A and B are shown apart, each in its own frame.
Chain A
Amino acid sequence: MKRMIPMWIAIVAGFAMLFSAFFPVTESLGEIFGDMFNVVAAIAFILGAGSLAKINLAKVSRRDPGWGYAAVTLACFALTLAAGLGKIGAAPNPKFAALAWSGDERAEGALFGWIYESALVPITSTMFALLAFYVASAAFRAFRAKNIDAILLLSTAFIVLLGRTFAGVVLTGWFPDWASGLRLENFSVYIMQVFNTAGNRAIIIGIALGVAATSLRILLGVDRSWMGTGGSK
């Protein structure tokens, strides 16, 4: 019973969404299920936050190694949550100025927006920027032009990199007009439009077939691995 009910919930919800795309009569049902999905997904953020608080509070109370960082996490979490839910410092919406909560919590001047600009944006963008060094370092250590596959990968990466920078123009800008297609900036565009398009298209088609097959297995109750151990048939 503990497994049958969830399986049927998944089947009914999935087929409702599927039918709503094909039968106009069930379109509104699909919209309602979509709204319910959005609400449950939003509540899932509360679950994530609860889990985060539980783990970090346990770390702080046990004085585990690094508990100070857990305390920083909790403090930042509480401050951001209070700033966002309370819309602290948010100017009212000029259209509905009389309403207490009409303002935009992300607007300029709001504490939540300030936290976003001062902490979230710099940390996340710097973390992604840091990957430039790690990707380059990993490529330097791992990429070896041992065979034709590796040569193709390496040379394409170099052409695309050089073709999108001024270095490419400097290196091959002197090519005559009849060979302009071989200039790095043009050649990289050709690679992107032809070879890259073909490869990506095949990958996308493969993914779509895989997603459709997996989804059908779930909707038909064949795949129950999402329920945890012992769920698959």
Chain B
Amino acid sequence: MKLSKAWIVVLLVVIALISLRAMTGQGMGRVYVKAAPQTVEISADAATGTEAKTIRWMEWHAVPPKDYTAAQAADPAQTSIQMSWARTIGLWMAAFFTLAIFSFMYRDNPGYRVAEAVIIGVSAAYWMVIGFWDTIVPKLLGGLTPAFVREHILPTQIDQSFTQNIAMWCALALGIMLLMRLSSKGAWISLWPLAFIIGVTAGLKIVSHVESDLLAQSVATFKPLAAVQRDASGAFDLMPTIWKSLANILVVVGVLCCLVYFFFSVEHKGLVGRGARVGIWYLMITFGAAFGFTVMGRVALLAARMEFLFDDWLWLIDPAGKRAVDVAAMIVGI
């Protein structure tokens, strides 16, 4: 896809505006970090042959820009709080990706395509790494080579029983069979681990869905249709009783009518048809509420992204008071 003249003009305008913003007032888009030296003393252990030693490393924690301003004002030569180039580049990358994704609202473009390519590669590797460190290392490697895992990664790793050991060898074999799917000749063998996954999932889902969904939801539906409410003195309270009872009746009727609508073995005519009709109304209200909630959630995310752009990146707003100079003062500075 070639960059059209319109896109080049848009890009140049955006770059000019950002440059103008960067040169105004406090500037923009910088991340400051504070040094936090760490020290761990390791005592000698004759049993494991460990020698006594001291391990030191430096950790850098993000701090608001006003901390840097204060530290510089107190001591211009200080180095405990400084700008982090890596995190600043990360912030600018995040801003670029945010704008690149938003640019899709106009139409498909190279910026969006790059962001899309990045997310595919990063998310595939991300979940692979999480699976490796959270499952393969403690369960598989910890089961097959507990001494290695204890020595290099997780000292709390315990030896597994013989049965668990055999199970992990079986899991490894099934995993290798699964990888055979990448080969054209051995693809059929990948059906075995797939069968294992399907079987375990089916067995788990029967229990979990029946227990937590079917039974729990059914039990929660059986509510008293006349829910007597009392006030603080213990006297009968009419209006809350009416509202609570009405709510319980509406819930019970709603659940039954929706279930009638889902029941296709009987033709939806007569009483069943009328029940199904009421069920449809309930479902429409449910879908309307779900729609409203979805839009609300997405708008909240949109607001969060806008806050990131205008607060963290452009430094145009400062709701948390992270910077020494507020927006009004900055504009006066212009």
Residues of A within 8 A of B (CB): 2-3, 5-7, 9-18, 21, 28, 32-52, 54, 66, 69-70, 72-81, 84-85, 91-92, 94, 96-102, 105, 108-109, 112, 114-133, 135-136, 139, 148-150, 152-161, 164, 181, 190-209, 211-212, 214-216, 218-219, 226-228
Of all chain B residues, the one with the shortest Cβ separation from A198 is: B254
Judge whether B291 and A39 touch: CB under 8 Å.
no
- Are the C-beta atoms of A92 and B55 separated by less than 8 Å? yes
With A36-B168, A38-B139, A117-B90 as known contacts, state yes or no: A196 contacts B285, CB within 8 Å. yes
Q: Is the CB of A76 within 8 A of B117?
A: yes
| Contact between B308 and A122, CB atoms less than 8 A apart | yes
B279 interface residue per 8 A CB criterion: yes
Assuming A36-B171, A46-B179, A129-B305, is B122 touching A120 (CB within 8 A)? yes
Q: What CA separation (Å) do A208 and B308 show in the bound complex?
A: 40
B contact residues around A154 at 8 Å (CB)? 288
Q: A75 vs B114: C-alpha distance in the bound complex, in angstroms? A: 12
Q: Which residues of A contact B221 (CB under 8 A)?
A: 201
- Given known pairs A80-B121, A196-B285, the reply for A69 and B86 (CB within 8 Å) is no
Contact A201 B117 (CB under 8 A): no
Known: A80-B121, A85-B129, A199-B286. A51 touches B102 (CB 8 A): no
Q: Are A36 and B288 in contact (CB under 8 A)?
A: no
Determine, out of B22-30, B191-199, B228-236, B321-329, the stretch whose residues face the partner at the interface.
B191-199
Residues of B within 8 A of A36 (CB): 167-168, 170-171, 174, 196, 200
Are B179 and A50 within 8 A (Cβ)? Answer: yes
What are 8 A-B contacts defined by CB distance under 8 Å?
A16-B203, A17-B199, A43-B175, A77-B121, A81-B129, A84-B133, A120-B126, A207-B209
Q: Within 8 Å CB of A129, what residues of B?
A: 298, 301-302, 304-305
Asked if A208 and B288 make an inter-chain contact with CB atoms under 8 angstroms apart, the answer reads no
Q: Chain A interface mostly helix, strand, loop or mixed? A: helix
Q: Mark B273-288, 1 if CB is under 8 A from A, else 0.
A: 0000001111111111
Least CB distance from A72 to B in Å reads 4
CB of B226 within 8 A of chain A? no
Contact B136 A43 (CB under 8 A): yes
Asked whether A116 and B126 contact (CB < 8 A) given A18-B203, A43-B179, A123-B115, the answer is yes
Instruction: State how many angstroms separate the Cβ of A155 from the closest Cβ of chain B.
Output: 7
User: Nearest CB to that of A100 among chain B residues?
Assistant: B152
CA–CA, A117 and B119, complex, Å: 12
Known: A43-B175, A112-B129. A119 touches B122 (CB 8 A): yes
Residue-wise interface mask of B (39-74) relative to A, using a CB-CB cutoff of 8 A (1 in contact, 0 not): 010100000001001010101111000000000000
> When the two chains form their complex, are residues B213 and A208 in contact, meaning their CB atoms are under 8 A apart?
yes
Chain A residue numbers with a CB within 8 Å of B119 are: 119-120, 123-124, 127
Do residues B132 and A72 form an inter-chain contact, with CB atoms below 8 A? no
Give the shortest distance, in Å, between B331 (CB) and chain A (any CB). 27
Q: List the 7 shortest-distance A-B pairs measured between CB atoms, nearest first.
A: A198-B254, A17-B203, A199-B286, A84-B129, A156-B288, A202-B258, A160-B292
Question: What's the nearest-Cβ distance from chain A to residue B17, in Å?
Answer: 20
With most chain A CB atoms within 10 A of its CB, the pick from B129, B217, B282, B305 is B129
B247 adjacent to A191 (CB under 8 Å): no
**B125 partner residues in chain A, CB cutoff 8 A:** 49, 76-81, 84
A200 to chain B: closest residue by CB: B286
Residues of A within 8 A of B172 (CB): 39
| B135:A42 contact, CB within 8 angstroms | yes
Chain B residues with CB under 8 Å of A209's CB are 214
* A226 & B251 in contact (Cβ 8 Å cutoff): no
Cross-chain pair count, CB within 8 angstroms: 432
Task: Determine whether B188 belongs to the interface, using a CB cutoff of 8 Å to chain A.
Answer: yes
- A212 lies within 8 A of B206 (CB): yes
Docked CA distance A40–B181 (Å): 14
- Asked if A136 and B295 sit within 8 Å, CB to CB, the answer is yes
B97–A122 CB distance below 8 A: yes
B224 adjacent to chain A (CB < 8 Å): no
The answer to the question of B38 belonging to the interface, with a C-beta cut-off of 8 Å to chain A, is yes
Per the bound structure, the CA–CA distance linking A91 and B197 in Å amounts to 36
Instruction: Name the distance in Å between A205's Cβ and chain B's nearest Cβ.
Output: 5
Chain A's nearest CB lies how many Å from the CB of B74?
A: 25
Assess whether B199 is in contact with A135, with CB atoms less than 8 Å apart: no
**Among B155, B163, B168, B192, contact of A9 (Cβ-Cβ < 8 Å):** B192
Q: B320 in the interface, Cβ–Cβ < 8 Å?
A: no
Q: Which B residue sits closest to A31, measured CB to CB?
A: B164
Instruction: Indicate if the CB atoms of B196 and A118 lie closer than 8 Å.
Output: no
**Is there an interface contact between B123 and A120, defined as CB atoms closer than 8 Å?**
yes
A128 to B119, alpha carbons, bound, how many Å? Answer: 13
Whether B13 is near chain A, meaning CB under 8 Å from some CB there, is no
Residues A199 and B167 in contact, CB atoms below 8 Å apart: no
Q: Is the CB of B200 within 8 A of A14?
A: yes
Closest to A41 in B: B197
Bound Cα distance A43, B42 (Å): 36
Residues of chain B within 8 A (CB-CB) of A124 are 119, 123
Contact for B296 among A35, A121, A164, A226, CB less than 8 A: A164
